[in-house]
Amino acid sequence: MISELLQTKLSWQTKEFKRNELLKTSGSIDTNVYFIENGSVRIFIEDESEERIIRFGYKGNIIVSLDSFLSGKPSAFFIQAIKASKIKVAFKQDFYEFMNSSNENLKLWNSILEDLVLQQIEREKDLLYNSPKIRYERVLKRSPQLFQEIPNKYIANYLRMSPETFSRLKKS
């Protein structure tokens, strides 16, 4: 599905981001679609001066601040490069013009949206489990590549556990 999108005539602009550089800040409107060629990013909010990671993106992923993209309104999310990243960016207007140019493209967009919604539902399920072990096992099963691409401290935050608990689970 993502490879199909990249092989279309949709206009992409390639940008490079340094480690820790922000692609999007909290309170801003972001209507871009990002495809990660190399590197990794995290999407998070700040809650009482604590960061809470809700999603990661790494090589081959599409990410988007979906609330802002769909509504055109500011979002509380930050998007930050975890390491130096090469990212293709498509602007909403170009993206929608392309998607509306044919039924095939609309089907592709629907497929992308369905995938994003299903990912979000799985994430919500993860957060409902009290057991750190269950959260860890679910994410490991669903996204084994995450554990190769993302530093442990960020994964621990994403799983809502201390780095020590994460380390113990990873060893067992």
Report whether 106 contacts 99 (CB < 8 A): yes
39-72 residues labelled b (16+ CB within 10 A) or e (exposed): bbbbbbeeeeeeeebebbbbeebbbbbbebbeee
pLDDT-based confidence at residue 136 (cuts at 50, 70, 90)? very high
For the chain, list the domains and their CATH numbers.
Answer: 2-102 (2.60.120.10)
Q: What is the pLDDT of residues 85-114, one digit of tens each?
A: 999 999 999 888 888 888 988 898 898 889
18 C-beta neighbours (distance < 10 Å), count? 10
Question: Of all residues in the chain, what percent carry a pLDDT higher than 70?
Answer: 95
For residue 16, what are its two tokens?
């490079």
Q: What is the pLDDT of residues 15-43, one digit of tens each?
A: 999 999 999 999 999 999 999 999 999 99
Report whether 159 contacts 139 (CB < 8 A): yes
pTM of the shown model:
0.88
Could you give the 3-state DSSP secondary structure of residue 61? coil
